[in-house]
Amino acid sequence: MAQPGISRDARQSDISSTVVVASTNPVKLEAVRLAFGRMFTDRAFEFATVSVPSGVSDQPASSTETREGACRRAEAARIAAPNASYWVGIEGGIEDTTDGMAAFAWVVIESEQRRGQGRTATFFLPQRVAELVRGGMELGHADDLVFGRVNSKQQDGAIGLLTGGVINRTTLYEPGVVMALVPFKSESLYEIA
């Protein structure tokens, strides 16, 4: 039975585990669903989403803050849905570097015994978008303003807009989720948390 505030997208199976994604953003759910399916082809999973706070600023401005947001989301999902098998936090962030403003996301996955972490690929934002973000605007809102879109962060996101759809937010996040699943795939090589 789904808990209030938690939605489900279940796959058929005799043996299933529940994966709770700490966001109701369909892009994040799809990236998690695809990554778990690729890493564990012999298992089936039920997927649930829950809206929880990141505990960091709306636009994390460093790799450290972004990773902290992913950690806090996974922990909050664990509190919201304690009977799940896995809790996944994904947090997108930016960081000003000498080469420009970089954009990326951190992924943290927890189970009862393990924690995995992964980071997506990094790309650089156009100056016009970066200036809006430096002025206090969240990246998704800056993208919408510059590209004339509405709610792009729940669709293709900055990467989709900049690549013309060659890579979108789902395909950007999926490898980060796969990287965070490494300790779960290769359990014998990783210590229990």
* Nearest one of 145, 170, 148, 146 to 157, comparing CA atoms: 170
Q: What is the 3-state secondary structure (H, E, C) of the chain?
A: CCCCCEEEEECCCCCEEEEEECCCCHHHHHHHHHHHHHHCCCCEEEEEEECCCCCCCCCCCCHHHHHHHHHHHHHHHHHHCCCCCEEEEEEEEEEEECCEEEEEEEEEEECCCCEEEEECCCEECCHHHHHHHHCCCCHHHHHHHHHCCCCHHHCCHHHHHHHCCCCCHHHHHHHHHHHHCHHHHCHHHCCCC
- pLDDT, position 88: 98
Instruction: Catalogue all structural domains in the chain, each as residue range(s) with its CATH number.
Output: 6-121+169-188 (3.90.950.10)
The whole-angstrom separation of Cα 59 and Cα 86 is: 25
Going by their DSSP bridges, the two strands 100-110 and 44-50 should be labelled as unpaired
Rounded to two decimals, the pTM is: 0.88
Q: Which amino acid is at 27?
A: V
Largest CA-CA distance found in the chain, in angstroms, rounded: 52
Residue with tokens 């080469």: 99
Per-residue pLDDT of the chain (193 residues; tens, 9 = 90+): 344 344 444 333 345 699 999 999 999 999 999 999 999 999 999 999 999 999 999 999 999 999 999 999 999 999 999 999 999 999 999 999 999 999 999 999 999 999 999 999 999 999 999 999 999 999 989 988 998 887 776 678 899 999 999 999 999 999 999 999 999 999 989 877 6
- pLDDT, position 156: 83
- pLDDT, position 148: 86
